[in-house]
Amino acid sequence: MPSTLTENVRKTVLENGLTVLTKEVHTAPVVTVQVWYKVGSRNEEPGVNGIAHQLEHLMFKGTKNRPIQFGRLFSALGSDSNAFTSYDQTAYYGTVERNKLKALLVLEADRMQNSQIEPEQLASEKRVVISELQGYENSPEYRLNRAVMQAVFPNHAYGLPVGGTKADVEKFEVAQVEKYYRNFYSPDNAVLVVVGDFQTANTLETIKEVFGKLARRQGAGGRGTRGTRGQGDKENSYTQFPIPNSQFPIPHSPLPTPIVLREPGAGRLLQVVYPLPDANQPDVPALDVMDYIFTEGRNSRLYQALVESGLASEVTASVTSLRESGWYEILVTAGYKQDLKKIDSVLSRAIANVAEKGVTTEEVERAKIQLTADVILSNRDITSQAMRLGNDETTVGDYRYTERYLAAVSLVKPTDIVAVINKYLTKESRIVGFFEPTQKQITGVSDKPDSAQTTENFSPGVPVLPSEVAKYLPPVDLATDAIAQVLPQEYKLNNGLRILLLPDRSTPTLTLSGYIQAGTEFDPEERAGLAAFVADNLLNGTKSKNVLTIAKILAERGASLNFEVHREGVHIEGDSLAGDLPVILEILADVVKNSTFPAQELELHRQQTLTDLQLELDEPSEVARRIFVQSIYPKKHPLHTYPTEESLQQIQRQDVIDFKAKHYRPDTTVLALVGDFDVDKVRSLIQNEFGNWEVSGKAPILKYPPVSMPQKVMSVNPVLPGKAQAVTYMGFTGIKRYDPRFHAALVLNQILGGDTLSSRLGAEVRDRQGLSYGIYSYFQAGKNVGTFLIEMQTSPEDTSQAIASTRQILQQIHEQGVTLQEVETAKRTLISHYNVSLANPEELTDRILMNEVYGLDKVELHTFTDKIQKVTFEQVNQAARELLHPDQIVVVTAGPSVLVKKSIR
């Protein structure tokens, strides 16, 4: 399998130096286009930290040829587009239906050479970036990591935060950013990756036509320049130290004591970072195998030493391998009331123990299988495959890197693990950080609305006319082929279990998705958290297998199986290589039928859950969401209940056993499978494993009481000390999935806030005013209930204006409606996004599953786009009048104290 990662890949270098990687994948009629620039935070220094990231934001602002927000153009194409900045590169990517390939190429070529950086745009986008950085600052983990990384790499840009610092971002000037753009955004400093359903020869001709005319810039490229680290819309990374390949010096002076941050927060954190060599060094595969032995799964060494002992609630680790250096980072979340010094001591002892006594061949082989399976399973969709090629080519200069890397992984021996631990994980080289939270209280601001009014200097401008978008949109190839409409095969066992099977031979993998009607809606108020207790402990032992046996069986095959509780059900997620389907099904059947909930594991889980709750209540988005939902849905409503420390302490083992017996039933369970399998064999397997799952009595039924709308605007501001960014949720009750207005509501939502750059909210609040890093709206339409909500992140000083602007846009659409062109553009976008999503096996499996859960016809998989296409202009505006209520809205802002206007008009 690994060889298929680079099978069919063709590398071409144009005369202007542009490296082009193409890979034909004909499993679905979609393509991804990605442009990777060999520049990131590695190319920065203190004083201009964050300039790569700032430029990434500005690359969406328009060009000389197309003075229009590029997010609007991508949205009109239906492209699933985004960008990120990291240590070694900045990347821009979009995935579309195949007939729009040339249009995407034209847009990327245009902004490679013709981007315009205007003072007004820089000013608004600096506010957006600062809002984003404040969001990172809300996280104690981010603040601790930043302090530790500066100590690990004091003289290299890998020690700078990728996204930059507020102080540096505030000082950026147009001339600085333009110079950076001219220096680094050049064809000879870029890699273009195209993966998907196209013909290579024709596509290469198109690429030469579109990109070949771009001139390489004098002196462009980052060779030999300093580096910086960038953080874009999907990034989270850090920077490093130039280390000669011949030897590995320690790049910092050893610190005799840990770095200690005492700041507002919830949980205690321990972070340990060891410098490592760059990605091309031969020790990297052994280091990654070592990491899997230390932290992957219940049987891993550090999980056993720290989590199973109750010292920690979580331990994670990762090897980062970059162009000039690397590091190994271990992060431990302390258990309930546990001491960091003791945790650090146990951690050090566990690592030293492995160095002294070695590891078993069994451990090494299991880690190698897990690692290899993870690589294969994470490269099933075309966007991920292109990401792998782009990252390998820009980081180490070889798109075949992962292939070579996996071959080296297969050769790793137990002695190699001991060797790399002794070489790199030394006491002298490590930097340790402690996060010790100071006492804090969440203080609530009165939720009694008053009559204060504000007048903002705001008038929502006329939205950009769709005719303007059309003027700048590259032409689209109209020759499209019909998408093959293969439907899942549906079966039902005598006990009521429903199964949906869709064979897909494109990769030797399979994706399992499942649903059991046993969600948190069934939580008793005094034992809130019970449904999650059951779901989270299913894998902790059965009548025939203990927790470690179950974990070992899955780990030995690199397979995963998880249960995640939601309001309206427990979702099952699993994936594996194709040959391991019998194992996944056997474990799943065993745990849903025979789980025993050992008392020791339940108690350990309780302590972990209490720690998680502490951390959640320190997270502005979680606090805002909880208070928002509880402000809309009254007490005794199934959605009002949330776990508290008291309710978690009340849960007894018998409660867990009883809940499982009552709610885990075959007649409320649905399983969907997509992948490389024979349908008849799978039916036989499922019958053997699940056929004797017995059901007694009728399934519990829950009645949702009617909920009235708020009578006026309600504002609440729970204050979390030490937070830099505010998170706001605003909304009210919405429609259910079965509402006849559902598809019209989806179109309306796409226009209102479905995209953070091209929607009405995004264009005004985020793009023009620069008040929010991200603003989105949603109609969350469930089986029993629906909620309409808008979510945004803002600087505290911008929050009131952002809320006022948002409500005025709601008022405007509610009263005046939307335009015909907006409706047509939104429909095209939704249809394209849907078609692209079906090319991702996980999204496809989930759609098949939820269509069945909602009781929709199985042809919904392919008629959904027809239903969107048939939505009329009148239906969307009727939905706007009936479903948007700007004067009956709950507004919850969590984070720093903000000036909340109680009735903003």
What integer is the mean pLDDT of 614-641?
93
Confidence tier at 184 by pLDDT (50, 70, 90): very high
N- to C-terminal Cα separation, the chain: 60
Read off the DSSP letter of residue 556: T
- Least Cα distance to 269 among 228, 328, 312, 217 occurs for 312
Measured CA to CA, the distance from residue 131 to residue 792 in angstroms comes to: 10
Structure tokens at 348: 């050090």
Determine contact, residues 542/551, Cβ cutoff 8 Å: no
Of all helices (H) and strands (E), which one includes residue 140?
A: helix 140-152
Structure tokens at 147: 């302090």
Question: What pLDDT is recorded for position 3?
Answer: 57
Specify the range with the lowest mean pLDDT, choosing from 269-278, 444-453, 644-653, 861-870. 444-453
Confidence tier at 466 by pLDDT (50, 70, 90): low
Question: What pLDDT is recorded for position 221?
Answer: 52
Question: What pLDDT is recorded for position 27?
Answer: 86
- Least Cα distance to 580 among 510, 671, 514 occurs for 510
Measured CA to CA, the distance from residue 444 to residue 831 in angstroms comes to: 43
Determine contact, residues 605/536, Cβ cutoff 8 Å: yes
Question: What pLDDT is recorded for position 253?
Answer: 59
Question: What pLDDT is recorded for position 480?
Answer: 55
What integer is the mean pLDDT of 686-697?
93
Tokens 């095959």 map to which residue? 557
Q: What is the pLDDT of residues 151-162, one digit of tens each?
A: 999 999 999 999
Confidence tier at 254 by pLDDT (50, 70, 90): low
Question: What pLDDT is recorded for position 40?
Answer: 96
Measured CA to CA, the distance from residue 856 to residue 229 in angstroms comes to: 47
Determine contact, residues 180/51, Cβ cutoff 8 Å: yes
How far are the Cα atoms of 294, 556, 790 from residue 303, in angstroms, in the given order?
7, 17, 38
- Least Cα distance to 88 among 382, 330, 431, 326 occurs for 326
pTM: 0.90
Beta strand 714-716 pairing with 890-894: parallel
Q: What is the DSSP string of 457-512?
A: S--PPPPPPHHHHHHHSPP-----PPPP----EEEE-TTS-EEEEEE--SSSEEEE
Beta strand 726-733 pairing with 786-794: antiparallel
Residue 900 has pLDDT above 70, yes or no: no
Measured CA to CA, the distance from residue 685 to residue 433 in angstroms comes to: 50
Question: What pLDDT is recorded for position 904?
Answer: 32
| Burial category of 198 from C-beta neighbours within 10 Å (exposed 0-12, middle 13-18, buried 19 and up) | buried
- Least Cα distance to 371 among 412, 400, 342 occurs for 412
Specify the range with the lowest mean pLDDT, choosing from 233-237, 263-267, 661-665, 798-802. 233-237
Question: What pLDDT is recorded for position 463?
Answer: 54
Question: What pLDDT is recorded for position 481?
Answer: 55
Confidence tier at 858 by pLDDT (50, 70, 90): confident
Detail the DSSP E strand segments found in 383-471: 431-438
Measured CA to CA, the distance from residue 636 to residue 474 in angstroms comes to: 54
Confidence tier at 483 by pLDDT (50, 70, 90): low
Confidence tier at 235 by pLDDT (50, 70, 90): very low
Measured CA to CA, the distance from residue 229 to residue 89 in angstroms comes to: 9
Measured CA to CA, the distance from residue 727 to residue 620 in angstroms comes to: 6
Q: Is 211 helix (H, G, I), strand (E, B) or coil?
A: helix
Structure tokens at 71: 């997010």
How far are the Cα atoms of 161, 224, 332 from residue 152, in angstroms, in the given order?
13, 22, 18
What integer is the mean pLDDT of 120-148?
94
Question: What pLDDT is recorded for position 454?
Answer: 33
Specify the range with the lowest mean pLDDT, choosing from 172-176, 485-489, 655-659, 880-884. 485-489
Q: Quick count: other Cβ atoms within 10 Å of Cβ 682?
A: 21
Measured CA to CA, the distance from residue 757 to residue 69 in angstroms comes to: 8
Q: What is the dihedral of CA 858, 566, 653, 613, to 10 degrees?
A: 160
Specify the range with the lowest mean pLDDT, choosing from 243-247, 663-667, 669-673. 243-247
How far are the Cα atoms of 153, 316, 669, 847 from residue 571, in angstroms, in the given order?
42, 24, 10, 13
Measured CA to CA, the distance from residue 506 to residue 838 in angstroms comes to: 13
Who's near 297: CB < 8 A, 6+ residues apart? Answer: 303, 370, 551, 554, 555
Of all helices (H) and strands (E), which one includes residue 513?
A: strand 509-516
How far are the Cα atoms of 513, 548, 570, 666, 703 from residue 521, in angstroms, in the given order?
21, 31, 11, 19, 10
Read off the DSSP letter of residue 676: S
Task: For residue 194, list its beta bridge partners.
Answer: 22, 33
What integer is the mean pLDDT of 679-688?
96
Of all helices (H) and strands (E), which one includes residue 72?
A: helix 70-77
- Least Cα distance to 329 among 232, 432, 417, 402 occurs for 432
- Least Cα distance to 28 among 905, 837, 648 occurs for 837
Beta strand 560-566 pairing with 569-577: antiparallel
Confidence tier at 898 by pLDDT (50, 70, 90): confident
Measured CA to CA, the distance from residue 761 to residue 777 in angstroms comes to: 9
Question: What pLDDT is recorded for position 450?
Answer: 33
Measured CA to CA, the distance from residue 229 to residue 49 in angstroms comes to: 8
Helix (H), strand (E), coil (C) string for 168-198: HHHHCCHHHHHHHHHHHCCHHHEEEEEEECC
Q: What is the pLDDT of residues 743-796, one digit of tens each?
A: 999 999 999 999 888 899 999 999 889 999 999 999 999 999 999 999 999 999
Determine contact, residues 633/784, Cβ cutoff 8 Å: no
Residue 379 has pLDDT above 50, yes or no: yes
What integer is the mean pLDDT of 343-356?
97
Measured CA to CA, the distance from residue 616 to residue 612 in angstroms comes to: 6
Q: What is the pLDDT of residues 53-103, one digit of tens each?
A: 999 999 999 999 999 999 999 988 988 899 999 999 999 999 999 999 999
Confidence tier at 470 by pLDDT (50, 70, 90): confident
Confidence tier at 220 by pLDDT (50, 70, 90): low
Alpha helices in 325-377 (DSSP H): 340-357, 361-377
Who's near 857: CB < 8 A, 6+ residues apart? Answer: 851, 863
